């Protein structure tokens, strides 16, 4: 018999159960890291979108101060392909004879080329732009007595208004600008197939409201399956008196 013990009897490895437990623990640890990271990325995209919307609003005010009117939307379809009449090129589209927007509802893409801005939101979709026609007319420039009728509410039911054409709770809006958010439902998509086509329509009433109008919805983001319905649109607007104050300060009104 050997004087030395058989060391192989004392050697042991991990059992399958131990390995499975270790993998499970690692998965939990990774999950606890990745989920907040995913949430942080989404929040950063929303914050970036909010900043882009504020930049658009500031550019619109600058355009009005410089030219005396707000730009028309960029068409999402139609047009003859000529100057100021080409869809999805980022240039405002209007009738050169009358000076009014082609769309009776003055709704389309933010004219990013006209304003010198980026073309898309963080999810690659166009920003939607809705403007009161009275403030885009080149022939009859708006003044301090001009009205505004673009409405914003907290839901499609519009039981609570965020803007008003008659007074409180908020000043009347001359412009609404919005991103259709992460899900992109209803957004103009430049990189889809075919290019410059609309993404599928929303399934929630509040998101659908931001496509059909005439009022628009702005409220906190809620996920799929929530009682309030899915909503991830990011919305802002330009108030009439905010625009008037800037125009007066620049010596463009009254």
CA nearest 109: which of 123, 93, 94, 98? 93
Residue pLDDT, tens place only, 213-234: 889 999 999 999 999 999 999 9
Mean pLDDT of the chain: 88
CA nearest 113: which of 63, 157, 69, 153? 63
DSSP code string of 26-73: HHHHHHHHHHHHHHHHHHHHHHHHHHHHHHHHHHHHHHHHHHSSPPPP
Q: What is the DSSP letter of 245?
A: H
Residue boundaries of the structural domains of the chain:
14-249
Side-chain-side CA neighbours of 26 within 13 Å: the count stands at 6
Question: Can you read off the two tokens belonging to residue 28?
Answer: 């939990």
Residue pLDDT, tens place only, 158-198: 999 999 765 555 688 999 999 999 999 999 999 999 999 99
Report in angstroms the alpha-carbon separations of 72 from 3, 11, 248: 97, 79, 22
Residue pLDDT, tens place only, 58-83: 999 999 999 999 999 999 998 888 88
Q: Mean pLDDT check: name the lowest of 104-108, 145-149, 242-246.
A: 104-108
Decide if 154 contacts 217 (C-beta within 8 A).
Answer: yes
In the chain, % of residues over pLDDT 90: 64
Residue pLDDT, tens place only, 5-64: 555 555 556 677 778 888 888 877 766 666 566 677 888 999 999 999 999 999 999 999
The span from the CA of 95 to the CA of 80, in Å, is: 11
pTM of the model: 0.83
Decide if 182 contacts 176 (C-beta within 8 A).
Answer: no
Residue pLDDT, tens place only, 132-168: 999 998 888 899 988 888 899 999 999 999 997 655 5
The β-bridge partners of 92 are none
| Segment 97-125 mean pLDDT | 91
Per-residue confidence (pLDDT) for residue 47, from 0 to 100:
95
Residue pLDDT, tens place only, 14-26: 677 778 888 888 8
Per-residue pLDDT for 126 more than 70? Answer: yes
Per-residue confidence (pLDDT) for residue 45, from 0 to 100:
94
Per-residue pLDDT for 2 more than 60? Answer: no
């Amino acid at each position: 018999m050997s004087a030395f013990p058989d060391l192989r009897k004392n050697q042991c490895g991990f059992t399958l159960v131990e390995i499975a437990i270790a993998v499970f623990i690692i998965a939990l640890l990774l999950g606890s890291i990745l989920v907040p990271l995913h949430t942080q990325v989404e929040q950063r995209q929303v914050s970036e979108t909010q900043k882009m919307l504020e930049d658009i609003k500031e550019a619109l005010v600058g355009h009005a101060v410089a030219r005396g009117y707000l730009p028309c939307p960029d068409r999402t379809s139609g047009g003859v392909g000529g100057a100021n009449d080409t869809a999805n090129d980022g240039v405002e589209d209007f009738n050169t004879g009358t000076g009014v927007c082609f769309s009776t509802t003055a709704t389309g893409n933010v004219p990013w080329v006209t304003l010198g801005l980026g073309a898309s939101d963080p999810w690659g979709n166009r920003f939607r732009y809705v403007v009161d026609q009275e403030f885009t007319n080149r022939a009859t420039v708006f003044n301090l007595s001009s009205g505004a009728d673009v409405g914003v509410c907290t839901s499609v039911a519009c039981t609570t208004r965020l803007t008003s054409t008659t007074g409180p709770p908020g000043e009347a809006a001359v412009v609404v600008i919005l991103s259709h958010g992460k899900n992109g439902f209803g957004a103009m998509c430049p990189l889809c197939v075919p290019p410059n086509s609309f993404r599928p329509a929303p399934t929630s009433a509040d998101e659908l409201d931001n496509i059909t109008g005439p009022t628009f919805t702005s409220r906190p983001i809620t996920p799929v399956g929530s009682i309030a319905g899915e909503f991830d649109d990011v919305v802002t607007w330009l108030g009439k008196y905010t625009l008037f104050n800037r125009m007066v300060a620049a010596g463009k009104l009254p």
